[in-house]
Amino acid sequence: MESEVLKVEKFGAYFGDTQILKYINLSIPENMVTAIMGPSGCGKTTLIRCVNRMHELITGARVEGRILLCGEDVYKTNPILVRRKVGMVFQKPNPFPTMSIYDNVIAGYKLNGIRLGRGELDRIVEESLQRAALWDEVKDSVHRKGTFLSGGQQQRLCIARALAMNPEVLLLDEPTSALDPKATSRIEELIIELKEYVTIVLVTHNIAQAARVSDLTAFLYLGELVEFGPSEKLFTVPEDKRTEEYLTGKFG
């Protein structure tokens, strides 16, 4: 495989005594879309929240093993620095309602107290919104509050906000689960376009979505990584029986 951006090694995660993830090994290559698929409660969201160390914010959370981001162990790095290098988009669009569209895009810089010149900020805002395919729709209203946008637009604003920090990896946690079909397909197209700039990890419970947008797919079941490989192969000739059963709708 090509150079890997993210490497998960012998990784386990817990809430108190409950084990959420069991001994996960995963290599995520650069500039590809990797889908993490599985039924509710299988630990897929926990897995990506371990990558940017959001998992540990909940009391009782604990992990074992390693996650390497560009070769560096994220659990030996300050979480603040890790999170600046890893963008995250959540299930429900969550732009900051107190900020304008412009300020939302550069929120990462503002929150971290990074000062940039006006020209530089303008460039980041335009470029990020363009990459998130939102620029044409909002370019005349970037200084208005983002709350008048539709759900799909708000989610693309959140993607722009994550892209503005120039992350190594973009984590998408079921980004279309709160959106209508039309907005969903816009986001899916966008995901495919974005892999030119950033490595994407997409959590989804939607099998069709994983098949449509991903290059690689990991199937997670009950905290275990059942199968991981090129999406075409996994969706056509799965190796594991559980994968096949999930794909054919026997459970999940």
Partner 1 sequence: MTSRRKSLNSGNPGAALVAAEAAFTRGLYAVAIFVVVLLTAILVTLLIGSRESLGTIGLGFLYGKTWDPVSSEFGALPFLVGTLLTSFLALGISLPFSIAIAVFLGEYFREGALSSFLRSAIDLLAGIPSVIYGFWGLFVLVPLVRSLQLKLGVPPFGVGILTSSLVLSIMIVPYSAALGREVIQLVPSDLKEAALSMGATRSEVIWKVVLPYARSGIFAGVLLSLGRALGETMAVTMVIGNSNFLPRGIFSPANTMASLIANEFAEATEPLYVSSLVEIGLLLFIVTTLVNIIGRQIIKRTAVEV
Task: Using CB under 8 A, list all residues that contact partner 1.
Answer: 52, 54, 57, 80-84, 86-88, 90, 92, 94, 96-99, 107-108, 110-113, 145, 147, 158, 161-162, 165
Least separation in angstroms between CB 54 and partner 1: 6
Least separation in angstroms between CB 89 and partner 1: 9
Which residue type sits at 209? Q
Least separation in angstroms between CB 72 and partner 1: 15
Residue holding tokens 């990459």?
131
CA distance 161 to 182: 22
Tokens encoding 132: 């998130």
Q: How far is CA 138 from CA 35, 129, 143, in A?
A: 30, 9, 9
Residue number, 149 or 211, with CB nearest to partner 1: 149
CA distance 24 to 39: 17
Least separation in angstroms between CB 138 and partner 1: 17
Residue number, 71 or 113, with CB nearest to partner 1: 113
Residue number, 113 or 249, with CB nearest to partner 1: 113
Least separation in angstroms between CB 91 and partner 1: 8
Residue number, 52 or 217, with CB nearest to partner 1: 52
Residue number, 172 or 190, with CB nearest to partner 1: 172
Please report the beta strands in the chain, taking only residues with DSSP state E, as ranges in sequence order. 4-15, 18-29, 33-37, 61-69, 72-73, 86-89, 169-173, 199-204, 216-221, 224-230
